[in-house]
Amino acid sequence: MAGDVEAQSDITHSGGHRSTLHLKNLRKQWQILALQVTATVALVWMYMEIISTYVVGSIDHTMLFETLEFVLGSDLPLGDWMTGVGRSGLARFYVPLVLGLSFGGSMALLAFQSPKVQQRIKLGVIVGLIVILVGRTLLSWLGGMIINTELDLPNADELALLQWPLMLILSLLVMFVYLLPIIMGTRGIWGLSRQAIIWSIGFTLLFLGLHAMLTFPVVLNQLGDYGSDLTTLDTQVGTPTVSLLGFELVTRQQFSLILIAVLMMVFQESAFGVIRHLEYAYRLPESCKRDEEYVQQMENVLNAHLRHTGLYLGLTGLATMVAIGFHGVLLELVTATTGSQWAEQVSESIELRLTYGVVISALLFLGVAATVRLLVPWDRLAQLRAGITGFGRSSEPDPPKDDSAWA
């Protein structure tokens, strides 16, 4: 079908802008930019939520920097304003976060340069690192041999010049490890790199998995004093504090975990969606990229993607909250309708405050949802909605009229 479409001129909108499916134009389209901005916001929000839940005050980079300074007996080359040392809470990550976004954006910008420019920039970075690492030592050593006109090994003073660049590289390496999800995520979103997005998500999941294993009670006891600084989640579910429609469903910790999962899905879906849509447009024949129907179809797909990303993933988070606290909703309804003390006694059961309570609540929610799915005539409701709104009418164009009779 695509090969039968004749080449057409670019579509001109009322504003005079010509719209085609060429990547140069498509990457500037507001839906693509909106998806990229959405993915970036979700990435930063997810990172900050993970940091506030697991890292701040426990294993953050400022504590590691302070330990290194104590062991080495000197200040690190990076300033405190850059590393966040001396600040408290999430303020420790504000400047590093901006640096990570800037570095990831620079990597994305580099990915769109020509191979020759990329090679020159990479070579310049490598040469610069070598000069920073051994430049002062080599100048001092070679200068001493030239002045003294004798061959000799570097002395202690000359080798001591390596301390500052080594500490600088170590500090940058620590910052890179902590900011890896932000750096690779930004590079993947704006540089259109699947590998970078996978690196960002994979490193985040790896951290969450390792943290979960290290905070397991049996492992935590084996770590001794080293495990005392790790932030552990409560083994018993506390009193729900986050409410929805008047029902208190989940605790603050549970809400943070749900939010992290939803934001990760938003980041993944938006970032990968941009790449999929651009790849589809790139593979179209030249004639299709200028065809009005293909351009309109792409706009419809992008608009639907934006709506579904916000709607369905938001409903997923809300449904998860309801599933976790569904037993509480049922008990509150029983108490309100019957006034029985049985519901209050059941709500205070120790089983409902453990993992079993979450499983029981989720099973109850799935059972009620399956029952509603079977009892409610959803097909009839969809047909009724289509009849009222006209949404279900056929979108096929009218057959062409035969004008030969009017000749």
Q: DSSP label at 7?
A: P
Pick from 162, 195, 230: which residue ends a domain?
230
210 and 355, same domain (yes or no) = no
* Residue length of the chain: 407
210 and 76, same domain (yes or no) = yes
In order of 26, 202, 204, 273, the CA distances from 268 in angstroms are 20, 11, 12, 8
Q: What is the pLDDT of residues 341-352, one digit of tens each?
A: 655 655 556 555
Which has more pLDDT, 378 or 172?
A: 172
List the structure tokens of 239: 């009193």
Is residue 10 situated within a structural domain? Answer: no
- pLDDT band of residue 138 (cuts 50, 70, 90) is confident
pLDDT at 335: 62
- pLDDT band of residue 38 (cuts 50, 70, 90) is very high
Are the C-beta atoms of 260 and 55 separated by less than 8 Å?
no
Decide if pLDDT at 396 tops 70.
no
Point out the least confidently predicted range of 36-45, 244-253, 281-290, 393-402.
393-402
What φ, ψ does residue 12 adopt, rounded to 5°? -105, 120
| Closest of 270, 354, 365 to residue 312, by C-alpha | 270
pLDDT at 389: 63
Point out the least confidently predicted range of 98-102, 106-110, 227-231, 304-308.
227-231
Total of domains in the chain: 2
344 and 216, same domain (yes or no) = no
Tell me the average pLDDT across 23-36: 86
pLDDT at 224: 67
334 and 187, same domain (yes or no) = no
H/E stretch holding 269 reads helix 252-283
Pick from 168, 201, 230: which residue ends a domain?
230
Which has more pLDDT, 74 or 273?
A: 273
Is residue 146 situated within a structural domain? Answer: yes
Decide if pLDDT at 356 tops 70.
no
- pLDDT band of residue 272 (cuts 50, 70, 90) is very high
Point out the least confidently predicted range of 31-40, 57-66, 208-217, 331-340.
331-340
69 and 215, same domain (yes or no) = yes
Q: Which long-range contacts (CB under 8 A, 24 or more apart) does 260-263 make?
A: 260/46, 260/49, 260/50, 260/53, 261/317, 261/320, 262/313, 262/314, 262/316, 262/317, 262/320, 263/42, 263/43, 263/45, 263/46, 263/49
205 and 334, same domain (yes or no) = no
Is residue 259 situated within a structural domain? Answer: no
Point out the least confidently predicted range of 83-87, 150-154, 332-336.
332-336
Is residue 223 situated within a structural domain? Answer: yes
109 and 224, same domain (yes or no) = yes
Point out the least confidently predicted range of 168-177, 249-258, 384-393.
384-393
Percentage of residues of the chain with pLDDT beyond 70:
77
Is residue 287 situated within a structural domain? Answer: no
By residue range, what is the domain housing residue 376? 325-389
Is residue 363 situated within a structural domain? Answer: yes
Is residue 298 situated within a structural domain? Answer: no
- pLDDT band of residue 5 (cuts 50, 70, 90) is very low
223 and 83, same domain (yes or no) = yes
69 and 202, same domain (yes or no) = yes
Is residue 338 situated within a structural domain? Answer: yes
pLDDT at 26: 82
Pick from 230, 254, 283: which residue ends a domain?
230
Query: For residues 102, 106, 111 and 113, what is the CA-based torsion angle, rounded to 10 degrees?
Result: 150
92 and 204, same domain (yes or no) = yes
Mapped onto helix, strand or coil, the DSSP state of residue 249 is strand
pLDDT at 406: 38
Point out the least confidently predicted range of 10-19, 183-192, 250-259, 385-394.
10-19
pLDDT at 340: 60
